[in-house]
């Protein structure tokens, strides 16, 4: 006799295959969603880690820092009362400026530690070889000395030192301009021109001093 296939068994197999495909499809959809999220996250991280984006974010944050610095020393730098010289008289904007400079100090220390030399003195000397880092040291030193003089009834000395520190930080922008294809070569030319002009200024000073002393003696 010819064996008749069991239809109920085949129907059950079909149902099981359909039921097994449904969760598999759901798992694939979830997996695709997870891959999409991870892809976007990876692209976002790669975007913010790109050298160009990092550079412009650094420039933008530095400009914001200079604006905050200028605002504090121009409009928000109040003298301390003679009866109550304390931190309670310091504005929130000035506290933010202090914290920002502390972050810059930490960044400079990290930059020193990242040098290739194995010894700490070698790292420091290698870091000081860059003239821009010397400007950073001058600006930070003037800033903290100015903050030390801040807790007095007279704030003119503190304001003067902070203003000079702000000037040095503004000069630091020239380092950013060096990467520009038009401004970079011109800055290099100006630097070399100033070195050549120093010899002429030295000769000019001799004549100016001699003439000034002689004219004052005659008069």
- Model confidence pLDDT, tens digit, residues 164-177: 999 999 998 888 87
CA distances from 56 to 62, 99, 107 (A): 10, 22, 17
- The stretches of the chain forming alpha helices (DSSP H) are 7-49, 51-75, 92-113, 120-128, 131-148, 156-171, 173-177, 183-218
Find the length of the chain: 219
**Average confidence score pLDDT of the chain:** 81
> Would you state the pLDDT for residue 23?
52
For residues 107-122, give the mean pLDDT: 87
Residue 89 confidence (pLDDT) = 73
Domain positions in the chain are: 72-177, 178-214
Kindly tell me if the per-residue pLDDT of 15 is higher than 60.
Answer: no
Nearest one of 125, 172, 163, 124 to 142, comparing CA atoms: 163
Query: Do 90 and 97 touch, CB atoms closer than 8 A?
Result: no
pLDDT digits (tens, 9 = 90+) for 72-98: 999 888 777 666 666 777 889 999 999
Give the residue carrying structure tokens 């694939």: 28
pTM for the model stands at: 0.70
Residue closest to 94 by CA, chosen among 157, 160, 133, 146: 146
Q: Per the structure block, which two tokens stand in for 11?
A: 């129907």
Look at residue 1 in the predicted model and tell me its pLDDT: 42
HSE (side-chain half, CA atoms, 13 Å) at 154: 3
- Per-residue pLDDT band at 37 (split at 50, 70, 90): low
Q: What is the pLDDT of residue 17?
A: 52
Span 176-204, pLDDT tens digits = 877 777 777 888 888 788 888 888 888 99
């Amino acid at each position: 006799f010819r064996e008749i296939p069991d239809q109920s068994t085949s129907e059950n197999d079909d149902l099981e295959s359909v039921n097994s495909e449904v969760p598999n499809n759901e798992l694939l959809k979830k997996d695709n969603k997870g891959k999409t999220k991870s892809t976007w996250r990876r692209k976002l991280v790669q975007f913010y880690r790109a050298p160009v984006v990092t550079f412009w974010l650094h420039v933008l944050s530095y400009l914001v820092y200079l604006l905050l610095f200028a605002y504090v020393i121009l409009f928000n730098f109040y003298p301390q009362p003679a009866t109550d010289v304390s931190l309670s008289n310091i504005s929130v904007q000035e506290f933010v400026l202090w914290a920002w400079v502390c972050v810059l100090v930490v960044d400079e220390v990290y930059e020193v530690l990242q040098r290739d030399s194995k010894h700490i003195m070698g790292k420091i000397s290698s870091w000081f070889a860059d003239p821009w880092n010397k400007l950073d040291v001058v600006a930070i030193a003037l800033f903290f000395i100015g903050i030390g003089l801040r807790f007095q009834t007279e704030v003119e000395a503190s304001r003067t030192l902070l203003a000079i520190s702000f000037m040095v930080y503004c000069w630091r922008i020239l380092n950013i301009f060096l990467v520009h294809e038009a401004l970079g070569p011109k800055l290099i030319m100006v630097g070399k021109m100033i070195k050549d002009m120093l010899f002429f200024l030295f000769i000019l000073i001799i004549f100016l001093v001699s003439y000034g002393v002689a004219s004052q003696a005659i008069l």
